[in-house]
Amino acid sequence: MSNVVMQTRIRLARNLRKYPFPCRLSQAGKNEVVETIVSAIKNSNSPLANDFDVLYVKDLTEAQRISLVEAHLASPEFISDSAGRAIVLSKDREMSIMINEEDHIRLQILKKGFDLDGAYDVADKLDTLLDENLDFAYDEKLGYLTQCPTNLGTGMRASVMLHLPALQRSKAVSRIAGNLQKLGLTIRGTYGEGSEPQGAMYQLSNQVTLGISEQAAIDNLKNITAQLINQEENAQKRMADSIETQDRIARSLGILKSARLISRDEAMDLLSNVRFGINTGLIEDVEIQVIDKLISDIQPATMIVNKKENLTPSQRDQLRAEHIREVLR
């Protein structure tokens, strides 16, 4: 089983027929939408019904808001405004619903590894159960109606987070990206932008939502992802034979195990190298899940939220180094 895909996400955009879209909805209307959706979840026959938290953006600290983005539960757009916005989260954070982001509902299923069918299945069931209690804006010809026409139709964005250190290093990602676009997909850096995003982590997702069924869009994404996995695995194998790569990977693990201060940027690069090392068998005594957990733990706002106190950047770097040493010992 390949480790190239770190996580899978399905997002569905839905709106309530009765209310204008968020861009033309009053403050009172937005609050009503939040209450309507929350009570529909409570009364639904879904696994979410008895087991969720509702966070109102206005009640959250800056660090808490940003940590939601770092954990891929909310978008930067969602936290850019606090009025009438709330997020519903299952206890395990696999299911989440942003309320009044660009649409009334942005339902998300987040799964570890490569599991598009599994994630869609959960999203589809939850959506169907919510539909029983909420009247969604839907048109026979245009499908689910969304505030921005780019999401019309299925309203579905399926995406996989890929770790592509070898393709990035060999400058192949930008070449591939041009072709992906022709196939109705986009690829972007998960952390940071530009042609070499941090940690070599990329988000690959479908772009077209109208005129292509959920299943066809998922199959398309699955096929292309399988191709990318293949290319990345081959490139990794070739690179792993070189002494320069072996040296870089061994040093990366060495620094992580001994540093006393480490910035997020440096840690991301080194963890990415170690992940590459584990995947190619150059590192045998560290589990890849441990590295993936570290990647989410060391994000700055997430650290502040977990520590429950404000940290200066240098305190953060110290705490980050300590935490990594502890985990890798």
Partner 1 sequence: MKCQKCGKNNADTHIKRVVNGQFEEHHLCSECAAEMGYTNVFDSFSHSFADDFNSLFGSFFENALPARTQATRCETCGASYNDITRTGMMGCADCYKVFADQIMPTIRRIHGNTTHCGKNSPASKAQPAEKAPAQNTKSELDVLKEKLDSAIKNQEFEQAAELRDKIREMEGE
Of residues 303-322, those binding partner 1 (CB under 8 A): 304
Spell out, one character per residue from 24 to 53, where the chain touches partner 1: x when CB under 8 A holds, - when not. x-----------------------------
Find the shortest distance in angstroms from Cβ 241 to partner 1. Answer: 23
Tell me which stretch binds partner 1 (CB under 8 A): 39-47, 85-93, 107-115, 181-189.
Answer: 181-189
Find the shortest distance in angstroms from Cβ 4 to partner 1. Answer: 16
Under the binding rule (CB under 8 A), the answer on residue 2 touching partner 1 is no
Produce one character per residue of 52-66: b if its CB has 16 or more CB atoms within 10 Å, e if not.
Answer: bebbebeebeebbbb
Under the binding rule (CB under 8 A), the answer on residue 203 touching partner 1 is yes
Q: Which residues contact 240 (CB under 8 A, 6 or more apart)?
A: 246, 280, 281, 282
Is 89:51 a contact under the CB 8 Å cutoff?
Answer: no
**Cα(71)–Cα(123) distance, rounded to whole angstroms?**
19
For residue 148, count other CB atoms closer than 10 A to its CB. 11
Burial group, residue 131, by CB count within 10 angstroms (0-12, 13-18, 19+) = middle
Q: Which residues contact 140 (CB under 8 A, 6 or more apart)?
A: none
The one among 61, 195, 234, 310 contacting partner 1 by CB under 8 A: 195
Find the shortest distance in angstroms from Cβ 243 to partner 1. Answer: 30
Tell me which stretch binds partner 1 (CB under 8 A): 59-67, 237-245, 249-257, 281-289.
Answer: 59-67
**Cα(77)–Cα(80) distance, rounded to whole angstroms?**
5
Residue 273: C-alpha distances to residues 191, 194, 255, 289, 295 (Å): 16, 19, 11, 14, 12
Under the binding rule (CB under 8 A), the answer on residue 108 touching partner 1 is no
Under the binding rule (CB under 8 A), the answer on residue 141 touching partner 1 is yes
Under the binding rule (CB under 8 A), the answer on residue 85 touching partner 1 is no
Under the binding rule (CB under 8 A), the answer on residue 190 touching partner 1 is yes
**Cα(181)–Cα(171) distance, rounded to whole angstroms?**
17
Which parts of 117-136 interact with partner 1 (CB under 8 A)? 124, 127-128, 131-132, 134-136
The one among 39, 43, 61, 213 contacting partner 1 by CB under 8 A: 213
The one among 6, 48, 66, 239 contacting partner 1 by CB under 8 A: 66
Structure tokens at 251: 């040093």
Under the binding rule (CB under 8 A), the answer on residue 21 touching partner 1 is yes
Under the binding rule (CB under 8 A), the answer on residue 277 touching partner 1 is no
Rounded to 10 degrees, the C-alpha dihedral 137/139/144/147 comes to -70
The one among 52, 114, 144, 276 contacting partner 1 by CB under 8 A: 144
Find the shortest distance in angstroms from Cβ 19 to partner 1. Answer: 8
